């Protein structure tokens, strides 16, 4: 089955041109406005270059392909090729027209220099400004536990939460009295020993059948802390705290740190130490679970 290179090339060029025309040209501004008024689905289609290039490639592949194999190849290369062709045009001809003296950080307005990050056709002076921009974007409310009681991995941008070790967590608590350590282990684990001053809000409960996710976890945290509170999230070794940190970030909290190593330390399958925990490092430990920092007291205060 011969491949149809001219059909592929024609599809890539046509779809790239049509996508730019439909999404950016003043000639189609009225059409875009009309579609936005008539159909939210259509408005989303025009705003997404991936979606628009796919649907434009589909009829091209149907008209030009001689067989199923060529249909699939023309559709795939027309879809992705046109998208990357438009990105190349933007990088080579459009962004280069902007003088460096006119460029600045999209968040803090710092004057541009060569160390800046380029993301989504915008300049950011640091990863912190880039993450600040991402946090301002609309985030849909998604559950973090599915109907089977399993955790749903949250769609997060890289390093939306920070990883720190127990020593760094201790230093943060000592230097800032507003920093809060949340121990997300089960209540029995918390009662048998926890970092001094830590609150207990379990991400999972220990029951006869095993560990069961706590559906009230985010709600209890939200009822006691604002979304800009600096939260240190720790568990026994650092696994559950990752899930808890993801759940909090996806719910709008903006200053979350995952304490790697947790209370008991992290080890490999052979027992080799990966990260020493809070207790192993000899830091201050408290016992029992009858204070106002215990989960029963916190969930009562959340009602």
Q: Same domain for 34 and 71?
A: yes
Region 272-282: what's the mean pLDDT?
93
Task: Report whether pLDDT(141) > 70.
Answer: no
Closest CA to 161 of 252, 257, 232, 250: 257
Contact in structure between 142 and 250 (CB atoms under 8 Å): yes
Strands 273-275 and 266-267: antiparallel
Q: Which residues are catalytic?
A: 235
Region 179-208: what's the mean pLDDT?
94
Q: Same domain for 220 and 242?
A: yes
Task: Report whether pLDDT(154) > 60.
Answer: no
- Lowest-confidence range among 36-45, 67-76, 133-142, 231-240? 133-142
Query: What's the pLDDT at 138?
Result: 45
Task: Report whether pLDDT(48) > 90.
Answer: no
Q: Same domain for 128 and 90?
A: no
Q: Same domain for 89 and 119?
A: no
Q: Is residue 296 part of a domain?
A: yes
- Report which of residues 246 and 202 the model is more confident about: 202
Q: Is residue 149 part of a domain?
A: no
CA dist., res. 158 & res. 192, Å (int): 34
What is the band of 199 on the pLDDT scale with cuts at 50, 70, 90?
very high
- Domain limit, last residue, from 36, 70, 95: 95
Query: What's the pLDDT at 221?
Result: 95
The CATH number assigned to the domain holding 200 equals 3.40.250.10
Tokens 């027309």, residue? 78
List of residues 6+ apart from 148 with CB closer than 8 A? none
Query: What's the pLDDT at 256?
Result: 95
Region 59-63: what's the mean pLDDT?
90
Q: Same domain for 88 and 117?
A: no
Q: Same domain for 64 and 48?
A: yes
Number of independent structural domains in the chain: 3
Task: Report whether pLDDT(283) > 50.
Answer: yes
DSSP 154: P
- For residue range 85-94, what is the model confidence (pLDDT) as tens digits? 888 887 776 5
- Please, what is the average pLDDT of the chain? 84
What is the band of 111 on the pLDDT scale with cuts at 50, 70, 90?
confident
Task: Report whether pLDDT(204) > 50.
Answer: yes
Region 85-107: what's the mean pLDDT?
72
pTM for the full model?
0.54
- Domain of 114, in residue numbers: 100-135
Region 190-213: what's the mean pLDDT?
91
Q: Give burial (CB, 10 Å; 0-12/13-18/19+) of 1.
A: exposed
Task: Report whether pLDDT(5) > 70.
Answer: yes
Q: Same domain for 170 and 269?
A: yes
What is the band of 52 on the pLDDT scale with cuts at 50, 70, 90?
confident
CA dist., res. 185 & res. 278, Å (int): 14
Alpha helices in 65-165 (DSSP H): 68-89, 127-135
Closest CA to 292 of 201, 227, 228, 231: 201
- Domain limit, last residue, from 81, 116, 135: 135
- Report which of residues 303 and 48 the model is more confident about: 48
Q: Same domain for 269 and 246?
A: yes
Q: Is residue 228 part of a domain?
A: yes
CA angle 278, 256, 246 (to 5 degrees): 100
Query: What's the pLDDT at 169?
Result: 96
CA angle 177, 182, 188 (to 5 degrees): 135
Q: Is residue 71 part of a domain?
A: yes
List of residues 6+ apart from 176 with CB closer than 8 A? 230
Alpha helices in the chain (DSSP H): 5-24, 29-38, 40-47, 49-64, 68-89, 127-135, 166-175, 187-191, 217-224, 240-250, 295-302
Q: Is residue 262 part of a domain?
A: yes
List of residues 6+ apart from 212 with CB closer than 8 A? 149, 204, 205, 206
């Amino acid at each position: 089955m011969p491949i149809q290179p001219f059909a592929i090339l024609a599809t890539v060029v046509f779809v790239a041109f049509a996508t730019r025309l439909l999404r950016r040209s003043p000639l189609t501004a009225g059409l875009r406005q009309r579609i936005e008024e008539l159909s939210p689905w259509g408005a989303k289609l025009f705003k997404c270059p991936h979606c628009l290039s796919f649907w434009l490639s589909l009829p091209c592949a149907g008209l030009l392909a001689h067989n199923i194999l060529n249909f699939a190849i023309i559709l795939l290369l027309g879809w992705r090729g046109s998208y990357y062709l438009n990105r190349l045009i933007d990088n080579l001809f459009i962004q280069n027209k902007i003088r460096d003296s006119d460029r600045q950080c999209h968040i803090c307005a710092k004057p541009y220099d060569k160390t800046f990050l380029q993301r989504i056709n915008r300049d950011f002076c640091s990863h912190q400004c880039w993450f600040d921009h991402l946090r301002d974007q609309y985030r849909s409310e998604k559950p973090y536990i599915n109907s089977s009681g399993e955790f749903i991995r949250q769609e997060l941008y890289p390093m939306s939460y920070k990883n720190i070790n127990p020593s760094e967590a201790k230093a943060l608590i000592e230097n800032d009295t507003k920093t809060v350590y949340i121990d997300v282990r089960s209540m029995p684990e918390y009662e048998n020993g926890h970092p001094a001053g830590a609150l207990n809000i379990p991400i999972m409960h220990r029951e006869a059948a095993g560990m069961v996710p706590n559906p009230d976890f985010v709600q209890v945290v939200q009822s006691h802390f604002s979304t800009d509170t600096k939260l240190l999230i720790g568990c026994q070794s650092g696994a559950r705290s990752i899930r808890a940190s993801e759940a909090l970030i996806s719910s709008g909290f903006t200053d979350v740190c995952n304490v790697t190593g947790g209370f008991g330390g992290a080890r490999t399958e052979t027992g080799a130490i990966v990260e020493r925990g809070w207790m192993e490092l000899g830091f201050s430990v408290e016992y029992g679970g009858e204070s106002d920092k215990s989960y029963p007291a916190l969930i009562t205060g959340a009602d």
